[in-house]
């Protein structure tokens, strides 16, 4: 066909294509266009296809899990007893949580922001009465807060759903031992008790109700 085209003077399909045929006519003669359309493809391609099938079936077999509408559970085995015995550094864990959760408002140095977010350094409710810190973290705090040195009017959001007892104990332990504060570590069990005793309270405290609640649970915790 290529040869025929060249010999036909009338043939004028798209100016440039015609000349391309002429330019490359030698090449076309040497290796005529292959009769394509029915090739089988290289062998490695079939090898890849077979390997892919093999992997697919292996993967489904290995990780199928339970066929039900139950939510996904991790493939990792449940933690053994040995894992629980490892001692965790409550304060280091608390520092990590502080950086993630608290720092945006209370700042890296714990100083807060004047008029909005209270300082944590040397604060009575952190150092002397840590139960109030726990209460605040659980349910949040709203309303004007008048302290000796300053007055604040911000909103502390509740974290009862985001942080578990251990995490709250860790972060309170951390703020009691940072920013120049010194205090004991808080036991996660105590946080669990406080959470239990205040389970009926919904919504944020205000500066008055938090004092009342602290007094109520203080008595029960002392038992």
Contacts of other proteins in 15-74 (CB under 8 A): 15-17, 19-23, 33, 36-42, 45, 48-49, 52-53, 55-57, 59-60, 63-73
CB of 27 to other proteins, least distance (A): 9
Residue 93 Cβ, how far from other proteins at the closest point, in Å?
Answer: 10
Torsion of CA 2, 5, 7, 11, to 10 degrees: -160
Distance CA 98, CA 108 (A): 9
Contact indicator for 139, 199 with CB cutoff of 8 Å: no
Burial code (b: 16+ CB inside 10 Å, e: under 16) for 123-160 equals bebbbeebbbbbbbbbbbbbbebeeeeeebebebebbe
The pattern of x and - marking residues 100 through 119 that bind other proteins according to CB under 8 A reads x-------------------
Residue nearer to other proteins on the CB measure, 71 or 83:
71
The vertex-178 CA angle with 198 and 197, nearest 5°, equals 10
Give least dist CB 50 to other proteins, A: 10
Q: Which of residues 73-92 bind other proteins (CB under 8 A)?
A: 73, 75
- As measured in angstroms, the least distance from the Cβ of 209 to other proteins is 28
Q: Which of 34, 175, 11 is nearest to 106 (CA)?
A: 175
Q: Is 13 in the site for other proteins (CB under 8 A)?
A: yes
Task: Name the packing angle between helices 188-197 and 165-175 (round to 10°).
Answer: 110
Q: Which of 29, 96, 147, 216 binds other proteins (CB under 8 A)?
A: 96
Q: Name which of 64 and 219 has its Cβ closer to other proteins.
A: 64
Cβ atoms of 148 and 123 closer than 8 Å: no
Report the run of H or E that residue 111 belongs to, with start and end: none
Give how many residues touch other proteins by CB under 8 A: 51
| Minimal distance, residue 84 CB to other proteins, in Å | 19
Binding site for other proteins (CB under 8 A): 1-2, 4-5, 8, 10-17, 19-23, 33, 36-42, 45, 48-49, 52-53, 55-57, 59-60, 63-73, 75, 96, 99-100
């Amino acid at each position: 066909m290529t040869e025929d085209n060249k010999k036909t003077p009338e043939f004028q399909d798209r100016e440039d294509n015609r000349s391309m045929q002429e330019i490359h006519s030698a090449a076309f003669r040497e290796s005529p266009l292959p009769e394509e359309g029915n090739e089988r493809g290289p062998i490695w391609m079939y090898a890849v296809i077979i390997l892919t099938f093999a992997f697919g079936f292996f993967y489904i077999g290995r990780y199928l899990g339970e066929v039900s509408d139950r939510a996904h559970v991790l493939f990792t085995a449940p933690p053994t007893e040995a894992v629980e015995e490892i001692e965790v550094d409550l304060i280091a864990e608390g520092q990590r949580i502080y950086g993630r959760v608290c720092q945006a408002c209370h700042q890296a140095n714990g100083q807060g922001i004047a008029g909005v977010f209270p300082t944590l350094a040397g604060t009575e409710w952190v150092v002397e009465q840590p139960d109030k810190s726990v209460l605040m973290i659980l349910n949040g705090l709203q309303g004007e807060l008048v302290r000796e040195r300053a007055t604040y009017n911000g909103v502390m959001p509740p974290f009862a759903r985001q942080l578990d007892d251990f995490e709250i104990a860790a972060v309170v332990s951390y703020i009691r031992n940072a920013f120049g504060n010194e205090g004991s570590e808080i036991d996660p069990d105590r946080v669990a008790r406080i959470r239990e005793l205040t389970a009926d309270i919904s919504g944020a405290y205000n500066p008055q109700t938090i004092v009342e609640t602290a007094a109520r649970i203080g008595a029960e915790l002392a038992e």
